[in-house]
Amino acid sequence: MRIVFFGSPDYAVPSLRACLALPDAEVVAVVTQPDRPRGRSGAALPTPVKALAVEAGIRTVLQPERIRRDTAEVIAGFRPDVGVVAASGHILPTYLLALFPRRVLNVHASLLPRHRGASAVASAILAGDAETGASIMEVVREVDAGPVVAQTRVPIGPLDTTGALTTRIAEAGAELLADVLPRWAAGELTSTPQDASLATFAPKLSKEDGRIDWSRPAAEIDRAVRAFQPWPTAFTTYGGAPLTVHASWPLEGDLDAPPGTVFAGDGRPLTPLLPGRAARAVVSCGEGSIALLEVQRPGKRATSIEAYLNGDRAFIGSHLGA
């Protein structure tokens, strides 16, 4: 089985490892995003998938901004059997898909048809879903609309962030891929069309999506804080400047104050899930309230709310989002 792998971020690394570990299979080429500047140094760094491909000795690593016919011609020269996609960041044109006798399979981070699109993991948290997972589906021209070959389920916990949940889904999806791919290539499995009437959509996130609307229920705001970690991060304004909220915990009971008003907490423990954490700064919401646990001012490091309050006595009694 000759595999061409399309992937770029950390999410794709377990799936590439799964392909590399398959007996009687060879990853003949990897297609990933170009090296881009990252970090404070601004140095151009390879994608995590390229780094693994180089480490594994894969000779052909293609890094087009967009896949055009010249890329497809190189891939065609390998006479591939099947393609595997895991968050490559490329649109795959029809003439490319036609090169693979056993089609191109995508390891998508949701239980399709729910949460089609780029922000599937964040959307599952935002929606309050009890579970999500990975779907292995055939790639078609319409985004994430192809027939599904197999799925695996992953529960969503009350502390899960997009970062943590994505890691678990990536591992679960890779394990499923390792089981499915040989049987799919052998013609032992079939796919099932999605019910388009059940589809929900998860568009690409922007920085502005992270702005907190304190008039929303506390449970929704807490889900947003978790969904937007590690990016774009949830934020509000305080004293005319941004204040990033990295962690929080929703509380029941309304406070008699406009949404966004900051109160001193009573210091009681919040939940056994967060040992040692207590309510120190509580913000009034449209429904209920929310305890802030970790915040960050511009140009500063993220810090616990306890440490932050030691340096900003005026925070209690202030109004966020004004």
As annotated, the residues of the chain forming the CATH 3.10.25.10 domain(s) are 207-311
Confidence of residue 114 (pLDDT cuts 50, 70, 90): very high
pLDDT over 80 at 194, yes or no: yes
**Under 8 Å CB-to-CB from 287, ≥6 apart: which residues?**
216, 217, 218, 219, 254
Complete DSSP assignment for 14-43: HHHHHHHH-TT-EEEEEE-PPPEE-TTT--
Tokens 């690409």 correspond to: 204
Output the average pLDDT for the chain: 96
Provide φ and ψ at 105, rounded to 5°.
-105, 140
Q: With pLDDT > 70 as the criterion, what percentage of the chain qualifies? A: 100
Alpha-carbon gap, residue 98 to 95, rounded angstroms: 5
Mean pLDDT (whole number) for 156-162: 98
Mean pLDDT (whole number) for 84-100: 96
Confidence of residue 277 (pLDDT cuts 50, 70, 90): very high
Alpha-carbon gap, residue 136 to 150, rounded angstroms: 5
User: What is the three-class DSSP state of 166?
Assistant: helix
User: What is the model's pLDDT at position 204?
Assistant: 95
2-198 homologous superfamily: Formyl transferase, N-terminal domain (3.40.50.170)
Q: Which DSSP symbol is given to 217?
A: B
> Contact, 120 vs 142, CB < 8 A?
no
Question: Using one digit for the tens of pLDDT, what is the confidence trace for 302-314?
Answer: 999 999 999 999 9
- Among 2, 92, 17, 91, which Cα is nearest to 53's? 17
> Contact, 83 vs 146, CB < 8 A?
no
Q: With pLDDT > 90 as the criterion, what percentage of the chain qualifies? A: 96
Cα dihedral across residues 308, 309, 311, 315: positive or negative: positive
Mean pLDDT (whole number) for 198-220: 97
User: What is the model's pLDDT at position 50?
Assistant: 98
Pairing of strands 36-37, 44-45: antiparallel
Alpha-carbon gap, residue 155 to 130, rounded angstroms: 6
Pick 207-311's CATH classification: 1.10.150.120, 3.10.25.10, 3.40.1800.10, 3.30.70.380.
3.10.25.10
> Contact, 18 vs 178, CB < 8 A?
yes
pLDDT over 90 at 38, yes or no: no
pLDDT over 90 at 43, yes or no: no
As annotated, the residues of the chain forming the CATH 3.40.50.170 domain(s) are 2-198
Mean pLDDT (whole number) for 177-200: 97
Confidence of residue 71 (pLDDT cuts 50, 70, 90): very high
User: What is the model's pLDDT at position 129?
Assistant: 98
CA-CA-CA-CA dihedral for 66, 72, 78, 84, to nearest 10: 50
Q: Which DSSP symbol is given to 250?
A: E
User: What is the model's pLDDT at position 40?
Assistant: 73
